[in-house]
Structure 1
Amino acid sequence: MRKNNKYTGEFKEMVVRKYLSGQNGGLITVAKIYGVRNVSQLKKWVKNIVKTQQVYTERLAEEKNYL
């Protein structure tokens, strides 16, 4: 029976950045390079991190409007 891996937030962010940079190929390739067993898990990381960055960017824009 396999043990579930617990990935740190830093690791997830680093892998997503590598994927988004396009330098290491697609999802499958990046997952293999960094030992992420499940490509769908990497997809979720990408979705969550991109969404979080969008929210952060929107908040910064709102703050600039108030200044």
Structure 2
Amino acid sequence: MTDEITLPVFVRVGEADEAHFGDLTITLSEGRIELPHYRREMASFLRAAADEIENPSPNEGDDDAAP
């Protein structure tokens, strides 16, 4: 059985409330997180988040649109 740890990722900009961007699941190696693997996975997660910010899904944010 492969051990994993799931880390919630929150982002806050300035004084705004933090937002839960998602969860990052990392596979453990001998019960430990290998730093190079963690960095690779976190970078991939943040790239995907940046892509979603730059190119939102259709209808994303329609509820929050200014009148």
TM-score, normalised to structure 2, is 0.41
Whose strand fraction is larger, Structure 1's or Structure 2's?
2
TM-score, normalised to structure 1, is 0.41
